[in-house]
Amino acid sequence: MRLDKFLADMSLGTRSEVKKIIASKRIKVNGLIVNKADYQVKEADEIYFDDQLINYVDYEYYVLNKPKGYICATEDKNYPVVMELINSKRKDLVPIGRLDKDTEGLLLISNDGKLNHHLLSPKSHVIKKYYVEVDTKIPENAEEIFAREMDLGDFIAKPALFERINETSAYLSITEGKYHQVKRMFEKIGCTVTYLKRMEFKNLNLDGLDVGKYRSLTEEEISNLKN
């Protein structure tokens, strides 16, 4: 593997940031400065950034179409957990964020702690789009209401994008991920959510992925998530 890819994979920066770091002679391989981004890293190489050893960890990134009934956890005494659906030898994979047990849809799973932190940070404003079905007619002015901040008691939800499908179903796109947020936002306008599915997460969607199935992310998808 090239040195710049190795360092970018280890989240030292984007490929171009890492190239600058290499050119500035801050990378040592086996005690010697290497300033060529295309240096081929070998298995036994010890790579240092300034004086910090960079260990290579193989990261895995999956998108799962979570079925109902599964908990977003690595283990649970009472219910099946989403990790049971992923066939990997790695023991450090975790769901990035949470969907309720009765919620279906797009869930990211990875062992990249930095990405996890980045995507869940309130500062990153990742757009999550949900398909929602409710028990009663959604008010005519729902779009206007959701387009403003909404007081949910313990926090103020940011404006959300509401797209009506019919009287009792819609899409809602939000940039936060508080506990039961979508259900609570609909409750606030008098509707109880009867079915909830996350359709999109930033650049990712569920195209071609049946419920209960998962796939690895492409390099392009991973770098888009990181930026």
Return residues touching ligand URA (CB under 6 A): 99-100, 103, 180-183, 196
Strand partners, 113: none
Ranges of beta strands (E only) in the chain are 27-29, 32-33, 47-49, 52-53, 61-66, 94-96, 104-110, 128-134, 150-151, 156-157, 161-166, 169-174, 193-201, 204-205, 214-216
How many helices (H) and strands (E) in the chain? 6, 15
> Least Å distance between CB 99 and ligand URA?
4
Distance (Å) of CA 217 to CA 69, 203, 205, 214: 24, 11, 11, 10
- The catalytic position among 76, 100, 102, 135 is 100
Helix axes 219-226, 113-120, angle to 10 degrees: 50
> Least Å distance between CB 17 and ligand URA?
33
> Least Å distance between CB 128 and ligand URA?
7
What whole-number distance in Å separates Cα of residue 114 and Cα of residue 222?
12
Strand partners, 72: none
> Least Å distance between CB 185 and ligand URA?
8
Residue 190 CA to chain centroid, in angstroms?
A: 30
| Active-site annotation holds for 92 | no
Radius of gyration of the chain from Cα atoms?
A: 21
> Least Å distance between CB 226 and ligand URA?
23
Closest to ligand URA by CB, 27 vs 193, is 193
Active site residues: 100
